[in-house]
Structure 1
Amino acid sequence: MPPDSAPDDRLFGLIGRFYDAAADASGWAGIAGEIAGALDSTSAVLKLHGGGDDFRLLECTDNLHIPDSRQDWAAHWHRQDLWVERSAAFGPGRVVTDHDLVSPAEQRRSGFYREWLSALDIHHMVGAVFPADGDVLGVLGVHRPEQAGAYEDADRRKLSILLPHLQRALGLGRMFADAGIRQAFGEEALARIDAAVFAVDRLGRVATLNGRAETLVREADVLTLGQGRLALRDPLLQERMMQLVRACLLTATGPTEPPGSAMALTRTDRLPLTLFVAPLRAGMARLAAQPLALVMVRDPEWPVATTRVLRELFGLTRTEAVIAADLANGLSPDQVARRRAVGPATVRSHLKRILAKTGTHRQAEAVALIARSVAAFDRQAD
């Protein structure tokens, strides 16, 4: 390899920056300038081109930023990027220069050169397109003004060193972003689900749990969380729960469902808790690389609706929403009257309006509608 084409420290530093940016998307900021500097150039752009006219600018040097007042003009020329069109015809992953793509005669008559490139003081280019995601092409272009001279084979080789690492880093970045979205989705769903959820291993050790589970551990007298293990105070119920957990873990890597997965936890002078166990397959668990079981517990005495959401859903007044929530939480009209210090006739009058606004005809229908509505997902205090 000739001395002038040997990789320099700037290239190795850039490769490291690519992978740092894959892990932390904020690391892409300023990377176009470093790419331009590594190839002794004045500008660089990294963008995505999808089907039709779709494009997305990922990163560019400061001198390629276009004022807001001219964004429509810039978008037009990004969509009409002659270099991207011609590079794609050469094939993804092949490093090309402007001399490969456009003849001098075409440069002189091309609006792409005369209007777009001349405004940016760009004339020479070395770059490539590469597969990014599905039918989307990634585009890397590095540029110089005309007086700086054309790109040579040494420049092609430098970009050829960078390109596969850039492509891989962008792919990893998408994977990390997708994983982050899935994690955020799971955490938000767990926070709002109307059940206590524990993820446990075969010994009952808790890998993670949601807020409902933390509340249940504090308030319930039938289960404990000692030394990081979920346990039921009744030894027979504890053995039954662990049997369900072990059965789930045996089926976690296959399609077979465990034989039986639910049980009731009786309580003195209160309605029983209900417990359900389901497998969480290896690789789906956020905090463990082993199969886990989800132990889900519901308390029938937990509020099933908040007045804020009931008012939004059905147009109830504040008083109607309070009474509707009480009814959905299992109180009779007489019990609501005593709890709210109003007369039974007042409660029944509000109930008639609740039935009309919810489109139901009987109290049981309204209670079922409210109990199964999205009002249970609201975690804001009334």
Structure 2
Amino acid sequence: MGLMIAVGEGLEEGDTVQHLPYQYKLTPFADQPLDTVLTVADFMDENEWKNSSYREHWCEKNNIYHVLTADISTPNVGHLRFRVTRTDAQEDFSPADKAFVELLIPHFRRAITTFLQLNSSASLGSLYSRAIGRLSIATITIDEHGKVLDKNVFASHILDAEDGLKIIGGKLTAQDNSDNRELKRLIKATFANADGKQTMPEAMSITRPSGEIALGVVIEVIPSLGWAEGKGQNKAVIYIRDAVGKSTTSIEISKKLFGLTPAETALSLQLTNGLSLEEAAEELNIRRNTARAHLRSIFSKTGVRRQTELVRLFLNSVAALGYDDRNSL
């Protein structure tokens, strides 16, 4: 079963573009030579075509009689099945029609290849963005004037809290005046020093009015295309890490990685979030002796001997990458 995109007049429900299921193995045009333009006459005579179940059950109800077909090969992907149809009242496809479609095949192939490459790049970009989010790293994309172009869910959480950073007039702004001047300077310096070449990211800390530990900020220019000219081409990403934010490590992934029980995993994650053993026991509503017993079992299973080692083990593991960030915050 494949997907067919049907374009033209006379389709069911009156649409000019439809996405339909397509059982390509059940058609007489399956497994034809690649990059070759063919018509029904190349597969069977007219009587065979008129009596074929494919024409009777699918073509006839869609007012299709004449079919021109080509399977277009694409590098490293497979092939695209291209079909052009006409009604019984229209003329059959001529040799000139076939020759014209043959001229189009290389252009179709290039267009398909370009689309697949762009789609792959977009998918990879989305994957990397989700990976950064699962590590609890806030990201904000800005232009050279500091205008916010995009942000992830963790950045939205930090900005909504207005505890160190916020958006004023569409621009990223630090609430402390001194920090704001430094932030503007770093943004300007980051873009000024980029000039199309790789540079070291700029960094600073942002004071928080709440008195919590300062936000860590790193600014890095996104490499631009060398042939692009004019203003507005450059963009930068601001990475923000909230040192007091809770870990988003997945409980299920942690259980699988370290072989811990649900209770042991819950305790480990509380310790990873910076709680003491006593605070973790209170948070989980268990006795301290029970928490100590869990901790001894955790040490035995993971091979660590101290709580600090356990925290480092969890923070440096891939457990956070299994977190479902769609339901985060």
The question of a shared fold, defined as TM-score above 0.5 by the shorter chain, is answered with yes
Q: Tell me how far 1:163 sits from its aligned partner.
A: 3.8
Aligned to 1:210: 152
After superposing the two structures, state which structure 1 stretch, 198-207 or 248-257, moved more. 248-257
The CA deviation at 1:330 is: 1.4
SS at match of 2:214: strand
Contact 1:252 1:280 in 2 (8 A): no
Cα 1:210/1:307, change in 2 over 3 Å: closer
Q: Against the structure 1 CA distance between its residues 136 and 203, is the aligned structure 2 distance closer, same or farther, given a 3 Å change threshold?
A: same
Q: What whole-Å deviation, never above 9, does each CA across 1:16-75 have from its counterpart, x for those lacking one?
A: xxxxxxxxxx8x5235999xxxxxxxxxxxxxxxxxxxxxxx99988x6519xxxxxx9x
Name whichever structure is richer in helix by fraction.
1
Residue 194 of structure 1 deviates from its aligned partner by 1.3
Q: 1:279 aligns with which of 221, 230, 239?
A: 221
One-letter amino acid of the counterpart of residue 149, structure 2? A
Aligned to 2:127: 185
Q: How far apart are 1:172 and its partner, in Å?
A: 4.8
TM-score, length-normalised on structure 2? 0.69
Give the 3-state SS of the residue equivalent to 1:196 in structure 2. strand
Q: Distance in 2 between matches of 1:150 and 1:324?
A: 72
Preserved contact between residue 134 and residue 248 of structure 2 (Cα < 8 Å): no
- Residues in 1 aligned to 2:275 and 2:106: alpha-carbon distance in whole angstroms: 66
1:214 counterpart letter in structure 2: S
- The answer for the alignment partner of 1:265 in structure 2 is 206
Q: CA deviation at 1:272?
A: 2.3
Aligned to 1:223: 165
Distance 1:230 1:357 in 2: 46
For residue 126 of structure 1, report the CA deviation from its aligned partner.
6.8
Measure, in 2, the Cα distance between the counterparts of 1:151 and 1:205.
Answer: 56
**Which AA in structure 2 matches 1:319?**
A
Counterpart for residue 246 of structure 2 = 303
Deviations 1:259-307 (A, max 9, x none): x622223445432221111111236xxxx96211111111111112446
Q: Distance in 2 between matches of 1:381 and 1:95?
A: 52
Instruction: After TM superposition, give the deviation of residue 143 of structure 1 in Å.
Output: 9.9
Gaps of 5+ in 1: 1-25, 35-57, 68-73, 108-113
Return the TM-score normalized by structure 1. 0.60
- Cα distance change on mapping 1:200 and 1:140 into 2, 3 Å: closer
Mapped partners of 1:195, 1:231: distance in 2 = 18
Mapped partners of 1:157, 1:363: distance in 2: 74
* TM alignment of 1:218-257, pairs within 5 A: 218-257=160-199
Residue by residue over 1:91-142, the C-alpha shift from the partner in whole angstroms, topping out at 9 and shown as x without a partner, is x6x867899x99xxxx9xxxxxx9xxx9979xx9976676633596666577
Aligned partners of 2:249 and 2:269 also within 8 Å: yes
Supply the distance in 1 between the matched residues of 2:120 and 2:203 (Cα, whole angstroms).
33
For residue 313 of structure 1, report the CA deviation from its aligned partner.
Answer: 3.0
Shift of 1:229: 0.9
Deviation at 1:170, TM superposition (A): 2.8
Is 1:371 aligned with 2:315?
A: yes
CA 1:320–1:250: 2 relative to 1, 3 Å: same
Decide which structure has the larger Cα Rg and report it: 1
Check conservation: 1:307, 1:322, Cα contact below 8 A: no
How is 1:98-137 mapped onto 2 (pairs within 5 angstroms)? 132-133=74-75
Q: Which amino acid aligns with 1:227?
A: G
- How many residues are paired up? 294
The alignment status of 1:66 with 2:26, answered yes or no, reads yes
Give the CA deviation at 1:245. 2.0
1:230 corresponds to which letter in structure 2? L
Question: CA shift at 1:328, angstroms?
Answer: 0.9
